[in-house]
Chains A and B, each alone.
Chain A
Amino acid sequence: AQTVTQSQPEMSVQEAETVTLSCTYDTSENNYYLFWYKQPPSRQMILVIRQEAYKQQNATENRFSVNFQKAAKSFSLKISDSQLGDTAMYFCAFMKHVRPGYALNFGKGTSLLVTP
C-alpha cells in the first residue's frame, strides 16, 4: 500500500521564524511526484510546492523549500521567515499510479499556527 504520513498534527511558530513540517511516504515506484498543499481557513486548496522524484535538486518557491530524501522516502517542507498568512493546514501528497490512471494520496495534514 502506498501511504503518506504526517507525524505532526499541530505546530506553532513565531512570526519571522523558520519551521519544518515533516512527511514520509511509502512506495515501490521509482518515478513519481510529491506535493505540498496549503489549506487556509477559506478551505481553498493551494499548491505550495512540487518535487519530481527523478530530480535530485530540492524544489524551492520563495520562502518555501523542501528537503527531499528519496532513499529515506522523506519529503519535509521548510517555511522561512514565517508570516501570519502562513497559518493554515498543510497537506503532503504523493502521486500514486492506479491503473489506468493516477491519484493524489494525501496525508492527514499538519495544522500550522503562526503567532505574532
Chain B
Amino acid sequence: EAQVTQNPRYLITVTGKKLTVTCSQNMNHEYMSWYRQDPGLGLRQIYYSMNVEVTDKGDVPEGYKVSRKEKRNFPLILESPSPNQTSLYFCASSPQRGGRYLETQYFGPGTRLLVL
C-alpha cells in the first residue's frame, strides 16, 4: 500500500530533551515536507526537501532540523524542544514533475507532540 508513515504518533516529552520524529514514504517521491498545525493557524511549512541531500527552510524553521540521506526518509529533529513546539506535525511527499510544479501531496497520519 502506497503510504507515508510517521513515528511516533503521540509523544510527550520535557523541555530540552532531544527528539526525532521519523517520516518514511514508499512511493519513490522526490519531494518531502514537514508541516505543523496549530489551532487557528492552519498548516505551516517547517522544512522541505526536493531530493536526497537537498533541503531548505519553510515558513517556520526555527528550532527544527532535518536531513535527507535516503530518498524514502525525512526525519524531523528537535534538538532542544520547547513548549511552543507543542503541535500536530505532518509529513508529506509528492512526485516531482518537470521540476517546477507541485503534484498532489500525500500526507502522513500526523504526530501529536506535547512538550512540558
Report A's interface with B, CB cutoff 8 A: 4, 31-33, 35, 37, 43-45, 47, 50, 91, 93, 95, 97-98, 100-109
Contacts and interface: CB of A to CB of B under 8 A. Distances in A.
B109 to A, nearest CB: 6
Nearest to A103: B45
Interface string B82-111: 000000101010000000111011110110
Contacts of B41: 108
Contacts, number: 64
Interface residues of B, number: 28
Nearest to B109: A44
A100 B56 contact: yes
Nearest to B51: A101
Contacts of B100: 97, 102
Q: List 10 A-B pairs, minimum CB-CB distance, nearest first.
A: A45-B107, A106-B42, A106-B43, A103-B45, A95-B102, A108-B42, A102-B102, A101-B50, A43-B110, A101-B48
Contacts of B40: 108
A97 B98 CA distance: 14
Interface of B: 31, 33, 35, 40-45, 48, 50, 54, 56, 58-59, 88, 90, 92, 100-102, 104-107, 109-110, 112
Given A33-B102, A108-B40, A108-B41, A101 B110 contact: no
Given A43-B110, A100-B56, A103-B58, A91 B43 contact: yes
A102 B101 contact: yes
A37 B100 CA distance: 22
A43 B54 CA distance: 29
A47 B105 CA distance: 8
Nearest to A91: B42
Given A31-B101, A95-B101, A108-B40, A100 B107 contact: no
20 contacts: A33-B101, A43-B88, A43-B109, A44-B110, A45-B92, A45-B110, A50-B104, A93-B43, A95-B101, A98-B56, A98-B58, A100-B54, A101-B31, A102-B48, A102-B100, A103-B58, A104-B43, A105-B45, A107-B42, A109-B42
